[in-house]
Amino acid sequence: ESLKIAFIGLGVMGGGMAANLARKGFALTVFSRTPAKAAPVIALGATLAGSAAAAAREADVVFLCLPATEDVAAVLFGDGGIAAVMAPGSVVVDTSTIDPVATREFAARLSAGGIAMLDCPVSGGQKGAADGTLSCMVGGPADVLERVRPCLDAIATTVVHIGDAGAGQVAKACNQVCVAANMLGAAEAVALALRMGVDPKRVREALLGGAARSTVLERHTLRLIERDFTPGFRARLMEKDLRIAVEAMTRTGVYAPVSAGIHQLLNALLQTGRADADWGAVGALIQELSGV
Ligand code: NAD
């Protein structure tokens, strides 16, 4: 018997994931605060619910893809929250990137009501969500992961069980630290090429063939050279992710000058009014500060 799925949050990432679940033939009910965002997935056969609770009530598995920790808290436990209506034995799969410590609390609170939770943050960007080629970093009980694995196989090519509740979010914080360091390296490299009068496209081409190769260098350096900062991944979301990582590092005594510095730069980027631009605009900020 196939799983009944609900999906809440049809933004840049959720829209692509929900579409792939619909394409794989899962019975899918969606909720979006902006109903227009649901149109593509409705066209693929999904049903539109009038509220998050209405979407979640009948579901075996409820996916969330929401911006931040407080949004997940609100949808789970706030006014009209889904925890109050979900059936015992059902599962929440949270694909949002949120705080690992809060995630542990959410999982414990749901578990008291007989509802299981997996933290399942993803990497791969809008393209990975649209193509169904994400990497899922899963925290929570292994048997729950096995139950929902057919759903995850519809959205991802890599699914790794990292550990207990919150462990997936720890892996995602690690991911964002690596991606952010790559981005700032690429941004400073482009600024250097431009200041030295060298064509950054040719530099990029050469670097992609060598040890500097990375997804960031491939996708974002081109966007930076072409000044295309449509999200993608909003600057405000990357600021949130570095804040989560730096808070965890501070709590645990990890020496992290790179993450702390990049977090400050992202805050500076938000101050310049670019919170909803793609976070690759941090490269434009580096150029502005470099007189390029
Ligand atoms: P987005 O802003 O495009 O989408 C978020 C959606 O959640 C919006 O449609 C918004 O209306 C909806 N939403 C917010 N609060 C809600 C509520 N209370 N009820 C119902 N819907 C609500 O953001 P996104 O880029 O899709 O990112 C979502 C999550 O995935 C974030 O945690 C982000 O950090 C993470 N993520 C993003 C990317 C990326 O490349 N964009 C990659 C990996 C992970």
pLDDT tens-place string over residues 151-166: 999 999 999 999 999 9
- What CATH number does the domain containing 31 carry? 3.40.50.720
Q: Which residue is associated with the tokens 């209405």?
A: 54
Let me know whether 159 and 29 are in one domain.
Answer: yes
The answer to whether the CB of 215 is under 6 A from ligand 1 is no
Percent of the chain with pLDDT over 70: 100
- Asked whether residue 155 falls in the same domain as residue 196, the answer is no
Q: Ligand 1 pocket, 219 CB below 6 A?
A: no
Mean pLDDT, all residues of the chain:
97
Confidence at residue 182, expressed as pLDDT on a 0 to 100 scale = 97
User: 58: domain range?
Assistant: 4-164
Among residues 114, 137, 164, which one ends one of the domains? Answer: 164
**CA 15 to ligand 1: nearest atom:** 26
**Active-site pick, 37, 127, 172, 240:** 172
Q: Is the full-model pTM beyond 0.80?
A: yes
CATH number at residue 244: 1.10.1040.10
Residue 68 has pLDDT above 80, yes or no: yes
Q: Whose CA is nearest to atom 9 of ligand 1?
A: 11
Same domain for 284 and 218? yes
pLDDT in tens, 143-199: 999 999 999 999 999 999 999 999 999 999 999 999 999 999 999 999 999 999 999
User: Is residue 141's pLDDT more than 80?
Assistant: yes
The answer on 273 and 128 residing in a single domain is: no
- What pLDDT shows up at residue 230? 94
Mean pLDDT throughout 202-222? 96
Contacts of residue 63, Cβ cutoff 8 Å, sequence gap at least 6: 5, 6, 7, 8, 14, 17, 18, 21, 93, 94, 95, 151
Task: Please give the pLDDT value at position 1.
Answer: 59
Percentage of the chain modeled with pLDDT above 90: 99
Residues 154 and 184 in one domain: no
Query: Is there a single domain that holds both residue 187 and residue 255?
Result: yes
Asked if residue 153 and residue 260 are part of one domain, the reply reads: no
37 is annotated as an active-site residue = no
Residues 146, 232: one domain? no
Residues 9 and 102 reside in one and the same domain: yes
Query: Within this chain, do residues 13 and 108 fall inside the same structural domain, yes or no?
Result: yes
Cα 95 to ligand 1 centroid, rounded to whole Å:
9
| CB 280 less than 6 A from any atom of ligand 1 | no
Nearest CA to ligand 1 atom 21: 9
Do 114 and 183 lie in a common domain?
no
Taking only the tens place, the pLDDT of each residue in 81-93 is 999 999 999 999 9
| Domains contained in the chain, number | 2
Which of 142, 164, 186 delimits the end of a domain?
164
**In the prediction, which pLDDT does 2 show?**
85
Are both 157 and 26 inside the same structural domain? yes
Domain end call among 148, 164, 180 = 164
